[in-house]
Amino acid sequence: MNQILATNNDNNDKKKKEEVIDNNSFESNDSYDLSNLNQDDSSYIPNNDYSNSYSDSYSDSYSNKEKTPMDKKKIIIIFAICIAVFGIALIAIFASSASKKKSQKNQVIAKPEIVIEEDGNNAKILITTNGTLSKVTYYWDRTDIKESNVSGNKFEESVVIPNGKNTLYVSAQDSTGQVTETTKEFRKDYDTSEPIIDIVQQGDGLFKIVATDETSMDYITYRWEDEEDDTVVKADNEGDTKIETTIDASRGIYKIYITAVDTSGNIATDSLSVQGALTPTIDVKRRGRKIRVKISHDKGFKQVEIYVNGEVEVYDENSPDYDENLTLIERSYKLQEGENVVAIVATSLEWDEQRQEYTKKTYSGTTVYEPQSEE
């Protein structure tokens, strides 16, 4: 009886072990009653084939647990959301593009507008459009045609107005092929003549600059060659056609640069070599019953001739007392009753480049002497 029971137990235990091995839904958290297993029973020990089969079955079961139906469902939901968002973005882009094209299609492109204004001596061209410009053309009386390929909705240009009566032609074309043309007439009477410069020798080391213009003068400038800055002389009054100024030349030969400008902006220039030579100084005075004469020059004298009441005195290199370094000559002459006439010609040793001669000074004068009127 006991043997039968043991046999039955062995068969039951064997059957249970086979069920465990064959069960593909085995999971690590399932519990089994192992109390009835006989650990001393050698028939329980599995062979190698059985062990491998068990290991493969467990690995497949664990892999299937990582990808449960719930996880797959989540992935599908996320993917569906991404597709929905991408679709909404595409719809928005297409809608915006369509709206923009519709707006552009409904917008009316007006023809370009052209405005021409006078700005001093220039004509200012302004072209605008609510579309896009493509070409601008302008010219004076069909000469010197200017054509430009442009872009944008605005164009500006200034052109000089020619002298006389002239017409400015302007044409503007936009990207749709619309063209606007306009003209404007201008009349300018420009003063194109330069001023005239004259230099007048005054003697005594002085000379005068005279600048004239047929319309009106603005100013003149002059500068000696050894100077850095110009001296400016403005016209005294608006509309003056002449400017004059007198200059004291420096001793020696110097070059002077002169510029004359009229109110129209015309410029004339001139230069001249000027000798700043000094003429002798002559001083004649009556002192009581005598005439006193003083003649001076810092370079000395080449010749001095003194005429008093018909008598002549000559001082030159032939005179016994001649001295080329003498810079002052003094003489005294007795007055005669009645009219007394004095004439003097004094020539220095300084060469005058402008006149191509030595500097010279002349004097003439009369005085009346009445003895009874003297004390």
Per-residue pLDDT of the chain (375 residues; tens, 9 = 90+): 444 334 444 455 544 444 444 444 434 444 334 334 344 444 444 444 444 444 444 444 444 445 566 677 778 888 788 888 877 888 878 767 666 655 555 668 899 999 999 998 899 999 999 999 999 999 998 778 899 899 899 999 999 998 888 999 999 999 999 999 999 999 887 777 899 999 887 766 678 899 999 889 999 999 988 788 999 999 999 889 999 998 877 666 678 899 999 988 899 999 888 767 788 999 999 988 999 999 999 999 999 999 999 999 999 999 999 999 999 999 999 999 999 999 999 999 988 766 788 989 999 999 999 887 654
Multiple choice CATH, 281-373, 3.40.50, 3.40.5, 2.60.40, 1.10.10:
2.60.40
For residue 255, the model assigns a pLDDT of 86
Looking at the chain, the domain(s) classified CATH 2.60.40.10 span: 113-188
Indicate the burial class of 219 (C-beta count within 10 angstroms; 0-12, 13-18, 19 or more).
middle
> Which of 3.10.25.10, 1.10.150.20, 3.40.50.2000, 2.60.40.730 is the CATH number of 196-275?
2.60.40.730
pTM for the model stands at 0.36
pLDDT digits 0-9 by tens, 149-208: 998 999 999 999 988 889 999 999 999 999 999 999 998 877 778 999 998 877 666 788
Q: What is the pLDDT of residue 137?
A: 95
Model confidence pLDDT, tens digit, residues 281-311:
999 999 889 999 999 999 999 999 999 999 9
Cα–Cα–Cα angle for 308, 312, 315, rounded to 5 degrees: 115
Residue 22 pLDDT: 45
Domain spanning 113-188, CATH architecture: Sandwich (2.60)
Q: Which residue ranges does the chain devote to CATH 2.60.40.730?
A: 196-275
Strand partners, 114: 127
- Average pLDDT of the chain to the nearest whole number: 80
